[in-house]
A and B are shown apart, each in its own frame.
Chain A
Amino acid sequence: MEIVVCIKQVPETTEVKINPQTNTLIREGVKSIINPFDMYALEEAIRLKEKYSGKTIVITMGPPQAESALREALAMGIDEGILITDRTFAGSDTWATSYTLSKAILKIGNFDLVLCGKQASDGDTAQVGPGISAHLDIPQVTYVKKIREINNKNCIVERMTEEGYEVILTPLPCVLTVVKEINEPRLPSLRGLMRAKQTQIIRWSARELKLDEEKIGLKGSPTQVVKIFSPPQRKGGVVFKGETSEVVDKLISLLKDQLP
């Protein structure tokens, strides 16, 4: 089984904070990590390989420093890493990103499965996974919480919905985006870390992917960010304590207008 995992390097979002005086992001000490949801995709790929053998490839599109994310994936047990990097990619939105990644997957050639995290924790769009499958014109299943069965033609997966889940049969190759429930990502192994340190990361630029210049980077992105601002910070309200019956009555009277 040949599996391609698409990952993104993101800032550890929970550490991104706004300086209330200057109204700007505080960046000091914010680590770059693999998007948490992508960790589940990586783990699933490694588990599938352990079970069915084959090859796992991790790809990411980003600046040169995103290489460290690929090495982390290799340390977990992914076989090969490809960095898709080019200055002309700057400003890519989800359309251009999924176009670029789909071209890279085509260049890889043989693949049965493309795995992505359900969304990235910085952009939170959840659009790149489905975008890739649309560009490749292959089936997709989003929010996968379990791969029940898989063979070289089909797989049966559970797709999480608001009410429960659906059991879906899809032919391969396909794109699956996975949620946290699917597994628990492993930590790297020492062998993996040593191998990751020594393995050559493959680099592909726009030219090597034979991309249509009109479809990449800012130029190829239909959306445009016009403004970035910090949301009004939520402030704490009243805190009270006391006899249970008193606080309960007080709370009910405060909520009265909102209750059904």
Chain B
Amino acid sequence: MDYFLTDQQKLLQQLCRQIAEEKIVKVAKDLDEKEEFPYEIMKILAQSDLFGIYIPQQYGGLLELSEGKTIGGVLDLCIATEELSRACGGIAVCYAASALGTFPIILYGNEEQKNKFLPDLAKGKKMAAFAITEPEAGSDASSIKTTAVKDGNFYILNGVKHFITNGGEAEVYVVIAMTDKTKGARGASAFILEKGMPGFSFGKKEEKLGIRASVTRELIFDNCKVPKENLLGKEGLGFIITMKTFDVSRPGVAAQAVGIAQGALDLALRYAKERQQFGKSISSFQGIQWMLADMATQIEAARALVYSVAKIIDSGNTDVSKESAMAKLFASDTAMKVTTEAVQIFGGYGYMRDYPIEKYMRDAKITQIYEGTNQIQRNIIALQLIKEMAK
């Protein structure tokens, strides 16, 4: 389908496809098996300017922003994430998670903070991560226990974040901590941390079902001294920043899901044409044809929704909680369905690790879970529907 992409977006799509086909496909299986971070691929993405597509030109990125706008390039990010995910959902998330860590700085950072952090992030010299989840604060983000206590020119952070994508690999972290526990959700604040700050260390690396090329670690703050200039926005804005960040980053997760689904369909299609049973290729059976047709249709619908939401954000409207949640919900459910069907088309071979398709099914699952489970997405959507009704 033609989504009327700009020239630059078309070039970006081709470039990402080329990187995926020439560089990612051949290492995906190995990195997945060894649970290894794709350093080489990240270097290639950096060299190809992919970390700069959502960062404004004035901060070293490629994004042309018109007057008055703070954010853009979300569709570009979606295009890139989708294409990379087609080859490997795990490698793609290393890339997309850096965007997740960068968005709060773009949205809420002051000039000094932007000038300090964005140029290196745009060049891909450094990667970013976003940290809110804690062992006891998953979907219920208001119960986070990490604290930040002001002490002169510093905040002293204590606590543990876990399941942090790019944890340990990123240089720049946006961390949500409670500055005032008594205020509940309104008592949270966001801080920019850098790897190497005293009292900031990393815990164990998780072993995962899928997206195994990406790294998920604990962040540990033990009297970690953070300069007060590193406070994002104001004290108490932590949750707003989180919600607004997720609103603009969710299309990225959704695009990852679309890419994984598309990659699985590509493989299933090719296999269905090659695989002979009962003397003919299994693609000649209507049962398989209908599966393929449904898969393709669902993917296209998901893509259309994701791109639309991304375009809304790029137009300057960031009031997209509901739409963003819908895109993430629909695309990730589609990815799970499509990859499961793809494994089915491969039959017994599909279940074997020798064939690439099972990995897609493993990689797809996380898209229904992270950046808000799909149950939480439904909550967001429903809440918004009811609010709109009440207006």
Contact = CB atoms under 8 A, between A and B. Distances in A.
Interface of A: 186-194, 197
Contact of B7 (A186, A187, A188, A197): A197
B23 A187 contact: yes
B7 A190 contact: no
Contacts of A190: 8, 11-12, 15, 48-50, 52-53, 62
A162 to B, nearest CB: 30
A192 B23 CA distance: 19
A187 B49 contact: no
Nearest to A190: B49
Q: Return the 6 tightest CB-CB contacts between A and B, nearest first.
A: A190-B49, A193-B11, A189-B49, A189-B48, A191-B49, A187-B48
B174 to A, nearest CB: 25
A187 B12 contact: no
Contact of A187 (B15, B52, B53): B15
A187 B47 contact: yes
B44 interface: yes
B52 to A, nearest CB: 8
A32 B47 CA distance: 25
A146 B19 CA distance: 26
B22 A187 contact: yes
B170 to A, nearest CB: 22
B11 A197 contact: yes
Contacts of A197: 7, 11
A192 B7 CA distance: 13
Nearest to B44: A187
Interface in B47-86: 47-50, 52-53, 62
B11 A194 contact: yes
Contacts of B23: 187
B8 to A, nearest CB: 6
24 contacts: A186-B44, A186-B47, A187-B19, A187-B22, A187-B44, A187-B47, A188-B15, A188-B18, A188-B48, A189-B15, A189-B49, A190-B12, A190-B15, A190-B48, A190-B50, A190-B52, A190-B53, A190-B62, A191-B49, A193-B11, A193-B14, A194-B8, A197-B7, A197-B11
Interface in B144-201: none
A76 to B, nearest CB: 10
A118 to B, nearest CB: 22
A197 B6 CA distance: 13
Contacts of A194: 8, 11
A250 to B, nearest CB: 30
Contacts of B18: 187-188
Nearest to B23: A187
Contacts of A187: 15, 18-19, 22-23, 44, 47-48
Interface string B253-265: 0000000000000
A188 B14 CA distance: 11
Residue from A187, A194, A197 with most neighbouring chain B CB atoms (10 Å): A187
